[in-house]
């Protein structure tokens, strides 16, 4: 009995010793070095076309604007709403908050915001105006005019689409109207003139229209036009050019029937704009001698045309050549723009003066 008890004690002592030794080894063993975490993948660099897909512009319909020297409005906030959604306005502060409506008559517009919005269908836009300061012309006595807002938010319901790879430009047209004989004026949205698919065209002077119809034009005017066309810079800008042919110089393609492609270089804004056969477009440009370059990407409205067949392919090829413009030449009232990229041979756009 005593020997059995002794054996048990010995076994317990041996097991205790082994346990303590194992614990000591575990305690003294260095902790395993954790494997380094894999380096995060670099964030993709957004191109301009991915970073900007929407431009918000302001324009002014005529109405009573001729009564004013200036109409300054302070825009505190602008916004849009997705189609089929109640609430959930996307609101943002404009880059330009103080706007004079007087210079924005007709085709003139001012971009007050650009950025990236979720692609899809939209149905409403609005602007919040916190103040209006109108100054009458001297003929009407000058001084400050009483311009009222129906509400602090000017609202327009208009369907438009924001795409993923194009820039959609929404022109919000406002107008000042006279309230009867009260001496007051009202600032209101002009729904009919607000959209993304406006085709803005230059209104030519009466003398130029007469010349185009074959009617006589005063000799002094003819001499001025002839002297201007000798200067490439003057002739390039502030004229409307109509595309006749495009493509490889040894394999030019004519424009599809029932389509028209135009471009106008607006010197005051250094912006080229026009109609590409289905969509209107716009892009900033620079010239240096006969060198011509476009600021990428070209902004394009989001219309899709199926007739005539091939009109979209024609439009895309035209915009591709224009986007990669390198040089230009004007000769015999024709404008030649040469463009290309690293992966293709140079191509040309041939326009005639409208």
- The CA–CA distances, whole Å, from 266 to 54, 123, 242, 273, 285 equal 21, 31, 15, 8, 10
Q: What is the token pair recorded at 152? A: 């602090």
Distance from CA of residue 295 to its chain's centroid?
12
Nearby residues of 272 by Cβ (< 8 Å), 6 or more positions away: 263, 264, 265, 266, 282, 283, 284, 285, 294, 322
Q: Which 8-state DSSP code applies to residue 34? A: P
Helices (H) and strands (E) in the chain, counts: 6, 20
Mention the CATH class of domain 206-353.
Answer: mainly beta
Nearest CA to 279 out of 174, 194, 173, 167 is that of 167
- Residues 271, 111: Cα–Cα separation, whole Å: 12
B/e letters for 49-76, b = 16+ CB within 10 Å, e = fewer, are: beebbbbbbbbbbebbbebbeebbbebe
Nearby residues of 179 by Cβ (< 8 Å), 6 or more positions away: 148, 185, 186
Q: What is the token pair recorded at 28? A: 């003294």
What pLDDT is attached to residue 200? 44
Write out 209-235 in H/E/C secondary structure.
Answer: HHHHCCCCCCHHHHHHHHHHHCCHHHH
What pLDDT is attached to residue 25? 47
Per-residue pLDDT 10s for the chain (354 aa) are 545 555 555 555 555 555 545 444 444 444 444 444 443 333 333 233 347 888 888 888 778 888 898 899 899 999 898 887 666 678 889 888 888 888 888 778 888 888 888 888 888 888 998 888 899 988 888 888 888 887 778 888 888 888 877 888 888 888 888 877 667 888 888 776 676 755 443 333 333 333 333 443 333 332 323 333 334 444 788 889 999 999 987 788 999 988 999 999 998 888 999 999 999 999 999 998 889 999 878 888 878 888 889 999 999 999 999 999 999 999 888 999 998 654 556 799 999 988
Strand-pair category, 344-353 with 240-248: antiparallel
**DSSP-assigned letters across all residues of 86-128:** SS--EEE--S--EEESGGGBTT--EEEEEE---SEEEEEEEEE
Q: What share of the chain is helix, strand, coil (3-state, %, to 5)?
A: 20, 40, 35
pTM of the model: 0.44
What pLDDT is attached to residue 138? 86
- Residues 14, 215: Cα–Cα separation, whole Å: 123
- Residues 339, 318: Cα–Cα separation, whole Å: 10
Q: Is the peptide bond before 308 cis (omega within 30 degrees of 0)?
A: yes
CB-based contact 88:122 (threshold 8 Å): no
């Amino acid at each position: 009995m005593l020997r059995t008890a002794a054996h048990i004690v010995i076994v317990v002592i041996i097991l205790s010793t082994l346990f303590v030794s194992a614990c000591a080894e575990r305690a003294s063993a260095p902790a395993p070095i954790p494997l380094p975490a894999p380096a995060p993948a670099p964030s993709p660099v957004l191109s301009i076309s991915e970073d900007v897909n929407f431009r918000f512009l302001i324009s002014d319909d005529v109405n009573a604007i001729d009564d004013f020297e200036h109409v300054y409005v302070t825009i505190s906030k602008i916004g849009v709403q997705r189609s089929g959604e109640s609430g959930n306005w996307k609101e943002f502060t404009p880059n330009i908050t103080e706007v004079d409506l007087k210079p924005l008559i007709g085709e003139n517009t001012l971009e007050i915001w650009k950025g990236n919005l979720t692609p899809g269908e939209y149905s409403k836009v609005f602007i919040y105006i916190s103040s209006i300061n109108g100054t009458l012309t001297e003929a009407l006595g000058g001084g400050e005019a009483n311009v009222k807002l129906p509400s602090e938010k000017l609202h327009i319901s208009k369907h438009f689409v924001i795409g993923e790879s194009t820039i959609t430009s929404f022109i919000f047209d406002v107008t000042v109207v006279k309230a009867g004989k009260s001496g007051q004026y009202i600032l209101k949205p002009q729904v009919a003139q607000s959209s993304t698919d406006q085709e803005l065209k230059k209104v030519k002077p009466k003398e130029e229209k007469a010349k185009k119809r074959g009617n006589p034009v005063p000799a002094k005017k003819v001499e001025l036009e002839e002297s201007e066309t000798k200067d490439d810079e003057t002739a390039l800008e502030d004229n409307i050019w109509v595309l006749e042919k495009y493509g490889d110089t040894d394999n030019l393609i004519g424009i599809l029937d029932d389509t028209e492609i135009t471009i106008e270089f607006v010197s005051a804004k250094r912006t080229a704009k026009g109609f590409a056969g289905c969509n209107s477009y716009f892009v900033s440009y620079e010239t240096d001698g006969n060198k011509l370059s476009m600021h990428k990407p070209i902004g394009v409205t989001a219309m899709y045309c199926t007739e005539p067949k091939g009109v979209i392919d024609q439009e895309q090829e035209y915009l591709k050549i224009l986007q990669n413009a390198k040089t230009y030449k004007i000769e015999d009232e024709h404008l030649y723009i040469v463009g290309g990229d690293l992966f293709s041979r140079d191509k040309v756009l041939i326009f005639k003066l409208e």
